[in-house]
């Protein structure tokens, strides 16, 4: 279903709009989509991923950049696409209409049309107002978005493709109560301009909300409040009661938009999810409970206290696949957000309420033989530190760290895990398991409990 809440105006809604001059959102059924990131050391073929999306009846996907192979694979799939422009491109797009025209020609016009990719949104930047950027992109957004709009007009695409700016939840703040939400003072002017643009062009406000990060970054944050199962730490805000962090955060944004005069603006959740590894509260059980709770909560159409019976237009889960080459600067969990592992295998049962009761795995993935690289029991492991450091500087060893699923497998287990991660990344090249005689190839799976030693790198 195409969501154009700002453009579809019928009956009494039209009357209200004419009388009040403020758009009242129509009732729409929220759609569940996914973020498809590609920062992986061993990517699945894009055609395999598109097949995975279609198998699971996922009809909306959000991309972080205009990857030509990915866009080609999406052509003719019927999947609606939000394609992203990285922040690094904002200086060029904001200063040069010609650069904007070129970007639209190369990354949008080249793929749309009959039998093409169904691009519905272009995301101009990604969380450009993050406080950690210290205003680096703040003054580039409006010039870039205005140039992009003119480029879409020239390409006769402006009536169909909408521009959005995914914002992190730190763009707004509240002392404690959602009703007191407001955009950060230094963003008030730019947010006024942005929201006016979005409203006049029929675009939603896109926000990324992460209850996991609230829990991870705050030792006093009540754990149960991050989920949807009820809490003994409910937030009382006047007559409104908040029992989960998502509703509280969402309504803080609603309050901030209301203060700008756009309290009814449609909202899309651009990113939300829970990692399955790499931190104390990041595990398979928590990820399943959060994501299923979120999906059920959205599907209930209850909305939030400030927007009863009006859930977000769309919700994009973060994310589709694990990305083993992402930066771990935010935390080791950063490589483990996927509802599927890097090879398209479901991590846990999850009902997306899209027609399948559980996730379906990727098909036709060709794997290398079942063999692993482990520490040689007869080797002198006293000099192994440099080899481990080398292996983990290239391969993903984040599960070995505190809170990870492989954190308690002992010294030899740690060595074996590091050696094997490197070995699999090198496509099981026998030379990559040497480590000066400290490694050896085995055909016996060394996995221990929840700590899984990868062996299924695909061809």
Q: How is domain 31-340 classified at the architecture level of CATH?
A: Alpha-Beta Barrel (3.20)
Residue, of 19 and 62, whose pLDDT is higher:
62
Contact (Cβ atoms closer than 8 angstroms) between residue 133 and residue 171: no
Q: pLDDT tens digits, residue range 147-180? A: 999 999 999 999 999 999 999 999 999 778 999 9
Non-local (6+) Cβ contacts of 368 within 8 A are 424, 427, 428, 455, 456, 457, 458, 459
Supply the pLDDT for residue 15. Answer: 30
Cα gap 20→280, rounded to integer Å: 50
Helix or strand holding residue 440 (H, E): strand 439-442
For position 106, what pLDDT does the model report? 98
Q: What is the per-residue pLDDT for 457?
A: 73
Inter-residue contact 161 to 108 (CB < 8 Å):
yes
Nearest to 398 by CA among 242, 238, 282, 304: 282
Q: Per-residue pLDDT averaged across 271-280, rounded?
A: 97
What average pLDDT does this structure show over 49-72?
A: 98
Looking at residues 199-225, what average pLDDT do you find?
96
Two structure tokens written together for 283: 């595990």
**Contact of 118 with 157, CB cutoff 8 Å:** no
Report how far residue 370's alpha carbon sits from residue 455's, in angstroms, rounded to the nearest whole number. 6
The DSSP line for 167-187 is: EEGGGEE-SS-GGG-EE-GGG
Is 50 exceeded by the pLDDT of residue 18?
no
Query: How many whole angstroms separate alpha carbon 89 and alpha carbon 98?
Result: 13
pLDDT of residue 176: 85
Q: Which residues contact 202 (CB under 8 A, 6 or more apart)?
A: 4, 5, 6, 7, 162
Query: Is the pLDDT at 24 greater than 80, yes or no?
Result: no
DSSP letter at 210?
A: -
Q: What is the pLDDT of residue 4?
A: 33
The pTM of the full predicted model, rounded to 2 decimals, is 0.92
Domain boundaries, the chain: 31-340, 372-442
Active-site residue list:
127, 271
Distance CA 198, CA 407 (A): 46
Q: What is the C-alpha separation between 46 and 390, in angstroms, rounded?
A: 30
* Measured distance CA(228)–CA(220) in Å, rounded: 18
The least confident of 184-198, 204-218, 306-320, 443-457 is: 443-457
What's the pLDDT at 242? Answer: 97
257 pLDDT exceeds 50? yes
User: Which runs of E-coded beta strand occur in 203-317?
Assistant: 205-208, 235-237, 240-242, 267-272, 303-304, 307-308, 314-317
Distance between CA atoms of residues 290 and 142, nearest Å: 35
Neighbours of 208 (CB within 10 A): 21
Question: Do strands 172-173 and 182-183 pair parallel, antiparallel, or not at all (unpaired)?
Answer: antiparallel
Give the chain's mean pLDDT.
92
- Band the pLDDT of 42: cuts 50, 70, 90: confident
What are the pLDDT digits (tens) for 365-402?
989 999 999 999 988 888 899 999 999 999 999 999 99
- State the first-to-last Cα distance of the chain, in angstroms, to the nearest integer: 37
pLDDT digit string, tens, across residues 339-355: 999 999 999 999 999 99
As a whole number, mean pLDDT of residues 81-96 equals 98
Higher pLDDT, 242 or 12: 242
Element containing residue 98 per DSSP (H, E): helix 97-104
Question: How many Cβ atoms from other residues are within 10 Å of residue 353's Cβ?
Answer: 14
Instruction: Indicate if the pLDDT at residue 12 is higher than 60.
Output: no
Percent of the chain with pLDDT over 70: 93
Is the CB of residue 57 less than 8 Å from the CB of residue 79? no
Q: pLDDT, tens digit, for every residue of 217-254?
A: 999 999 999 999 998 989 999 999 999 999 999 999 99
**Pairwise CA distance, residues 230 & 243, whole Å:** 6
> pLDDT (tens digit, 9 = 90+) per residue, 286-343?
999 999 999 999 999 999 999 999 999 999 999 999 999 999 999 999 999 999 999 9
Residue 22 CB partners (closer than 8 Å, separation 6+) = 261, 262, 263, 264
Other beta carbons within 10 angstroms of residue 133's beta carbon come to 13
The pLDDT value recorded for residue 350 is 98
pLDDT range class, residue 125, cuts 50, 70, 90: very high
Determine contact, residues 274/214, Cβ cutoff 8 Å. no
For residues 408-428, give the mean pLDDT: 96
**455 band by pLDDT with thresholds 50, 70 and 90:** confident
Look at residue 419 and tell me whether its pLDDT is greater than 50: yes
- The answer, yes or no, to whether residue 448 has pLDDT greater than 70, is yes
Q: Give the mean pLDDT of 50-79.
A: 98
What is the C-alpha radius of gyration for the chain, rounded to an integer number of angstroms?
23
């Amino acid at each position: 279903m195409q969501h154009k809440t700002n453009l579809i105006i019928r009956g009494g809604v039209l009357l209200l709009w004419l009388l009040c001059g403020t758009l009242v959102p129509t009732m729409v059924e929220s759609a569940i989509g996914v973020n498809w990131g590609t920062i992986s050391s061993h990517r699945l073929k894009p055609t395999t991923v598109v097949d995975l999306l279609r198998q699971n009846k996922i009809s909306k996907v959000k991309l972080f950049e205009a990857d030509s192979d990915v866009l080609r694979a999406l052509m003719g799939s019927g999947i609606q696409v939000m394609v992203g422009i990285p922040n690094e491109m904002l200086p060029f797009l904001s200063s040069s209409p010609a650069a904007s025209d070129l970007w639209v020609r190369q990354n949008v016009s080249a793929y749309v049309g009959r039998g093409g990719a169904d691009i519905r949104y272009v995301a101009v930047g990604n969380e450009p107002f993050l406080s950690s950027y210290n205003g680096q992109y703040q003054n580039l957004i409006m010039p870039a978005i205005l140039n992009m709009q003119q480029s879409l007009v020239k390409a006769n695409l402006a009536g169909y493709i909408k521009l959005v700016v995914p914002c992190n939840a730190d763009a707004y703040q509240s002392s404690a109560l959602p009703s007191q939400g407001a955009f950060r003072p230094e963003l008030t002017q730019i947010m006024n301009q942005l929201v006016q643009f979005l409203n006049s062009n029929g675009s939603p406000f896109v926000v990324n909300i992460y209850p996991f990060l609230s829990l991870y970054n705050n030792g006093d944050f009540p754990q149960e409040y991050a989920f949807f199962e009820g809490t003994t730490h409910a937030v009382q805000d006047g007559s409104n009661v908040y029992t989960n962090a998502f509703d509280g955060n969402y309504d803080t944004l609603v309050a901030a938009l209301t203060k700008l005069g756009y309290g009814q603006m449609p909202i899309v959740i651009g990113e939300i999810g829970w990692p399955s590894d790499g931190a104390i509260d990041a595990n398979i059980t928590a990820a399943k409970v959060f994501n299923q709770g979120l999906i059920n909560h959205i599907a209930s159409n209850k909305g939030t206290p400030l927007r009863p019976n009006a859930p977000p237009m769309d919700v994009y889960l973060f994310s589709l696949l694990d990305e083993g080459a992402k930066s771990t600067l935010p935390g080791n969990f950063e490589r483990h957000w996927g509802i599927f592992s890097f090879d398209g295998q479901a991590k846990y049962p999850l009902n997306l309420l899209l027609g399948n009761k559980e996730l379906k795995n990727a098909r036709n993935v060709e794997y290398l033989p079942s063999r692993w690289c482990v520490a040689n029991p007869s080797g002198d492991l006293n000099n192994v530190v440099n080899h481990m450091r080398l292996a983990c500087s290239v391969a993903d060893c984040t599960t070995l760290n505190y809170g990870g699923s492989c954190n308690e497998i002992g010294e030899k287990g740690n060595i074996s895990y590091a050696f094997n991660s490197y070995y699999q990344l090198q496509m099981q090249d026998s030379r990559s398991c040497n480590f000066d005689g400290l490694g050896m190839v085995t055909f016996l799976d060394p996995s221990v409990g929840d700590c899984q030693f990868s062996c299924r790198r695909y061809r």
